[in-house]
Structure 1
Amino acid sequence: MRIDDLPPVRGTLTPDRPLADLSWLRVGGPADVLFQPADEEDLRAFLGALPAKVPVFPMGVGSNLIIRDGGIRGVVIRLGRGFNGIETLAGGRVRAGSAALDAHVARKAAQAGIDLGFLRTIPGAIGGALRMNAGCYGRYVADAFVSARGVLRDGTAITLGPEDMGFAYRSTALPPDLVLTEAVFEGPERPPEEIEAAMEEALAKRAATQPVKDRSAGSTFRNPAGYSSTGRADDVHDLKAWKLIEDAGMKGARLGGAQMSEIHANFLINRSDATATELELLGERVRETVFAKSGIRLEWEIMRVGEAVKTEAGAG
């Protein structure tokens, strides 16, 4: 794919762009083309003129991704400064661009006395949090969601309500090539100092129980029990992935530079220059071992995208 063959843009098109530095795990091959649109109008015009045969992958800040070593074919779309605004509204609501960091949204909301504190400890940006129905300590995006805007593969802009999202536990039913551009959330109105104190407590709890200083992509596998997390009172996930991994003897397991954290068994970390192949193979080894031990098949929470390369990953 040549840049000259792509529609003109006001943003930036970069051919053969390495993606490892855009991923929290610091792995992965290049995108054929990386597109960073100037604004939603630029994004709509580009997608509307882009041939339908060219695949598109919307990428956030890479906090929940294993990008395979062979890279991603087609166009990777990464939203930036034109999509990171945060605005507090009346009625306990906040409008945030998809590129706004979750933590920044939580802090800006808190200053206005709006409690979206559950976002404070979630790594990544709003677009990814929307797509994955991210949550922490019993609250999920679905609980606070009001509406969202997005751009379809053909360049059409759409507005999404809760019924359009298909919220489920750590997932939605959104098309993979839909580019989310902004969302509106609603939270309880409380004194800012109370919200700040609760967020600080959550941060301290996270630091004490998770490998926050290591290169990871957050929780590796979904908790296997319970109902879809859509805010219902009967949502429970008592069977924890970390417990199954520990019971299977895979806490701290290594493969090359990849390791299951010794702090939290459900965190896959890049310990020492791991490849994407090593990370994914270790994850699959954990799944196989847990299944052999418990009969339960863990499901990936981390998204794995792109093309693999034939590499022999050695055990460490």
Structure 2
Amino acid sequence: MGLCVAAGTDRSRARRRGRRSVTLLDRLGDRLSGIRGRLTPDAPMRKLTWFQVGGPADLFFQPADEDDLILFLQRLPEEIPVLVVGVGSNLLVRDGGIEGVVIRLSAKGFGAAEQISQTRIRAGAAIPDKRLAASALDAGIGGFHFYHGIPGAVGGALRMNAGANGVETVERVVEVHAVDRHGRRHVLSNADMGYSYRHASAPEGLIFTAAVFEGYRCEPLEIRAKMDEVQTHRESVQPIREKTGGSTFKNPPQSSAWKEIDKAGCRGLTIGGAQMSEMHCNFMINTGDATGFDLETLGETVRRRVLQTSGIVLDWEIKRLGRFEAGRIVTPASDSD
């Protein structure tokens, strides 16, 4: 078939380990002839997320480039679910794993940054936000310092309007390049993205592949100083060396999530191997042996206590995905999820 299949996924060994005797990759067979990217059946998602929890994806795909991604989507039967993940920094995968195909854009095919004018940069969706900030520094383009403190990649920043230090992605985006579920290319304007706080209303099925950003001319020393401020602040108030997923909940109107969590007595709250950080109580931590069930149960417990204490419904900022294990379903604290 000409496929690049990850090492260690030999089907006979998979059967001996008690996995499904026929993987999704087996079922797709010759449909994927000509695909150049990396395909891994029963891929352990815990290795791809910062929380280091979660069951396997039925099939994991890293396309070689945009043409490879398009061919794969055109060949993939429409009834098979597709999920796109980035660096896994704000992702909680449930213990039962993920149905269908998980796509993660490769750094080689989607990780370039290029200065295209005095104030504009074209960046692939797989570039870490921190590297986008560094590219802007090298080009003498201001307005990107806030990305230095965001632990994600450009694709996720585009999808959730990532922001920090008083700046949001919406302020920098000119246009976004994407591919839909049928393998068709799209170019969206800033207005097409429909940005609001930590949200974009662009269709969920679009896979962002690159974007053009615009800043302003600025002295590198001034940019560097702002980036240093971001880093210093982050190291002083966030548990960045723990197994965490960043901010757990969005800030509610007229308040901060951490203040409401603290008021509800949830700083340091622990369930199983999951804990709300003592340092910053809007950060959930895997203390070493947490499961996805532990982390999601902790989050919903916090939501329930904040609702009881303040009457505020906290909305998740961390994305929770996948299947629950049998008998280990987490009930949301409210009907707002």
TM-score interval, normalised by the smaller of the two chains: over 0.9
Q: Distance in 1 between matches of 2:203 and 2:181?
A: 9
Q: Which runs of 5+ in 2 are unaligned?
A: 1-23, 330-337
Q: Distance in 1 between matches of 2:325 and 2:193?
A: 34
Note if contact 1:58-1:177 (Cα within 8 Å) is conserved in structure 2: no
Matched with 2:326 is 310
Deviation at 1:6, TM superposition (A): 4.2
What RMSD, in angstroms, separates the aligned Cα atoms of the two structures? 1.2
Is 1:87 the equivalent of 2:114? yes
Q: Distance in 2 between matches of 1:255 and 1:176?
A: 32
Match of 2:256 among 225, 240, 248: 240
Note if contact 2:89-2:151 (Cα within 8 Å) is conserved in structure 1: yes
Match of 2:176 among 117, 128, 148: 148
Matched with 2:191 is 163
Counterpart mapping for 1:15-94 below 5 A = 15-80=41-106, 81-94=108-121
Matched with 1:252 is 268
Deviation at 1:2, TM superposition (A): 3.1
Q: Distance in 2 between matches of 1:205 and 1:40?
A: 37
Matched with 1:96 is 123
Match of 1:2 among 25, 30, 37: 25
Note if contact 1:16-1:30 (Cα within 8 Å) is conserved in structure 2: yes
Q: Distance in 2 between matches of 1:111 and 1:91?
A: 12
Matched with 2:234 is 206
Match of 1:110 among 116, 127, 137: 137
Q: Which runs of 5+ in 1 are unaligned?
A: 226-237
Percent identity (aligned) = 49
Q: Distance in 2 between matches of 1:34 and 1:24?
A: 17
Matched with 1:221 is 249
Q: Distance in 2 between matches of 1:160 and 1:273?
A: 42
Q: Distance in 1 between matches of 2:30 and 2:92?
A: 29
Question: What one-letter code is carried by the residue in structure 2 that aligns with 1:270?
Answer: N
Question: What one-letter code is carried by the residue in structure 2 that aligns with 1:53?
Answer: E
Q: Distance in 2 between matches of 1:182 and 1:311?
A: 41
Counterpart mapping for 1:176-187 below 5 A = 176-187=204-215
Moved more, 172-181 or 14-23: 172-181
SS at match of 1:158: strand
SS at match of 2:250: coil
Deviation at 1:88, TM superposition (A): 1.2
Larger Cα Rg: Structure 1 or Structure 2?
A: 2
Matched with 2:308 is 292
Q: Distance in 2 between matches of 1:65 and 1:141?
A: 19
Question: What one-letter code is carried by the residue in structure 2 that aligns with 1:148?
Answer: V
- State the TM-score, normalized to the length of structure 2: 0.87
Question: What one-letter code is carried by the residue in structure 2 that aligns with 1:150?
Answer: A
Q: Distance in 1 between matches of 2:103 and 2:151?
A: 19
Q: Which has the higher contact order (CA 8 A, sep 6+)?
A: 1
- State the TM-score, normalized to the length of structure 1: 0.93
When the two structures are aligned, how many residues end up with a matched partner? 301
Deviation at 1:5, TM superposition (A): 5.3
SS at match of 1:246: helix
Deviation at 1:37, TM superposition (A): 0.4
Deviation at 1:193, TM superposition (A): 1.0
Is 1:134 the equivalent of 2:187? no
Note if contact 2:118-2:141 (Cα within 8 Å) is conserved in structure 1: no
